[in-house]
């Protein structure tokens, strides 16, 4: 098996004097050409993890390696150079673009900063990148973000991230602020660019249906911890962690006359500044027992490439305990 393009080991992210623990010991591998989906409730640490991978700021502890090169000790020019390969697309496309710059200026900025090509070559590269994301440079090139739709702005943000040859794209809920009609367009664009440019994508989202369709593997987070990770089709067909099952069961089913199911889980997650002992999900878990309060479950592989952190997880076909 080839070395993953991105390797993350025991990453922690803490904020403030009280040490709010947003991410608590996350491991992940992102393979070349893979899309890894990351899901979980608001406040589970998804965005904090994404920014830690980009060293914005660096994690409080742990390691992040790109192509075998450790990033957490890099500063200044070395780190900026790595970010040509490791780029991020943010949730709010309009807020991520300078309002006074034209589309061509926004997309071409990385090329200008690093003096990649001549001025004429940069213009050709920018126009080609705009066409690659479905924008006509003759129409959109001289417009500013305020003159574009949300979907068009997100295309510009994606073009800017990829124009200098990025290999890894970290997408932090890139479609959550878009209309439903635009979400499929942006998702199809990401899939097309992934194949064309041999990208590896870390895709963060709340929408489980989206994550299921776009991801090769899915990682489920709860209160700063990974509770399950596995191949997308397998994880959705046979979830092993009660939290994963609850998330999947909570997705509405469009069936006229169907009864509304009872909530799969009750209540809100505890505060990251005051997490429960043992298993962090135990205060909302229907399977919780005393051992869950005393011992923190560790990720263990239940099936090939499918791991779960639960004392009472069962592989498909096992009887109930």
- Quote the CA–CA distance of 47 and 285 in Å, as a whole number: 24
Tell me the torsion sign for CA atoms 210, 215, 218, 222. Answer: negative
Residue 259 lies in a domain: no
Residue 214 lies in a domain: yes
CATH of the domain at 144: 3.40.50.300
The pLDDT score that the predictor gives to residue 320 is 42
Residue 122 lies in a domain: yes
Q: Which of 31-40, 86-95, 253-262 has the lowest mean pLDDT?
A: 253-262
Residue 315 lies in a domain: no
Residue 313 lies in a domain: no
The pLDDT score that the predictor gives to residue 4 is 95
Looking at residues 15-34, what average pLDDT do you find? 91
Residue 107 lies in a domain: yes
The pLDDT score that the predictor gives to residue 250 is 82
Q: Which of 76-85, 183-192, 214-223, 249-258 has the lowest mean pLDDT?
A: 249-258
Phi-psi region of 222 (alpha: psi -120 to 50; beta: other; left: phi over 0): beta
The count of domains in the chain is: 1
What phi and psi values does residue 274 have, to the nearest 5 degrees?
-150, 70
Predicted confidence (pLDDT) per residue in 113-135, tens digit = 999 999 999 999 999 999 999 99
- Quote the CA–CA distance of 177 and 154 in Å, as a whole number: 10
Q: Which domain holds residue 82?
A: 6-251+264-308
- Return the exposure string of 137-160: e unless at least 16 CB atoms fall within 10 Å of the residue's CB, then b: beebbeeebeebebbbbbbbbbbb
Looking at residues 44-64, what average pLDDT do you find? 95
Check whether 98 has a pLDDT greater than 50. Answer: yes
The distance of Cα 264 from the centroid of its chain, to the nearest Å, equals: 24
What band does 263 get if pLDDT is binned at 50, 70 and 90?
Answer: low
pTM, two decimals, is: 0.93
Check whether 237 has a pLDDT greater than 70. Answer: yes
Structure token digits, residue 195? 């194949």
Neighbours of 210 (CB within 10 A): 19
Residues 6+ away with beta carbon under 8 Å from 71? 55, 58, 64, 65, 79, 82
Residue 138 lies in a domain: yes
What band does 3 get if pLDDT is binned at 50, 70 and 90?
Answer: confident
Q: Which of 159-163, 252-256, 285-289 has the lowest mean pLDDT?
A: 252-256
- Quote the CA–CA distance of 149 and 130 in Å, as a whole number: 15
């Amino acid at each position: 098996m080839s070395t993953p393009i991105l390797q993350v080991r025991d990453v922690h992210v803490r904020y403030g004097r009280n040490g709010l623990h947003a991410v608590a010991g996350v491991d992940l591998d992102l393979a070349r050409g893979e899309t890894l989906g990351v899901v979980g409730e608001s406040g589970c640490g998804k965005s904090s993890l994404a920014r830690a991978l980009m060293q914005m700021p660096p994690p409080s502890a742990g390691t992040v390696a790109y192509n075998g090169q450790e990033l957490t000790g890099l500063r200044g020019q070395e780190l900026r150079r790595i970010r040509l390969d490791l780029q991020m697309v943010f949730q709010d496309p309009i807020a991520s673009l300078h309002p006074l710059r034209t589309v061509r200026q926004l997309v071409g900025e990385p090329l200008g900063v690093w003096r990649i090509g001549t001025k004429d070559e940069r213009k050709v590269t920018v126009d080609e990148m705009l066409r690659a994301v479905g924008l006509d440079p003759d129409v959109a090139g001289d417009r500013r973000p305020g003159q574009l739709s949300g979907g068009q702005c997100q295309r510009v943000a994606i073009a800017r991230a990829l124009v200098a040859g990025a290999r890894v794209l970290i997408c932090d809920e890139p479609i959550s602020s878009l209309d439903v009609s635009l979400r499929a367009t942006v998702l199809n664009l990401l899939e097309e660019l992934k194949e064309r440019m041999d990208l590896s994508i870390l895709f963060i989202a709340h929408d489980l249906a989206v994550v299921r369709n776009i991801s090769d593997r899915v990682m489920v987070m709860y209160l700063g911890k990974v509770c399950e990770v596995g191949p997308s089709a397998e994880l959705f067909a046979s979830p092993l962690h009660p939290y994963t099952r609850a998330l999947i069961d909570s997705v509405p089913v469009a069936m006229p006359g169907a009864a509304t199911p009872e909530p799969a889980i009750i209540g809100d997650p505890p505060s990251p500044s005051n997490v429960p002992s043992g298993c962090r999900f135990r205060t909302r878990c229907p399977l919780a027992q005393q051992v869950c309060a005393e011992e923190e479950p560790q990720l263990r592989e239940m099936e090939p490439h499918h791991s779960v952190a639960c004392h009472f997880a069962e592989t498909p076909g096992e009887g109930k305990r």
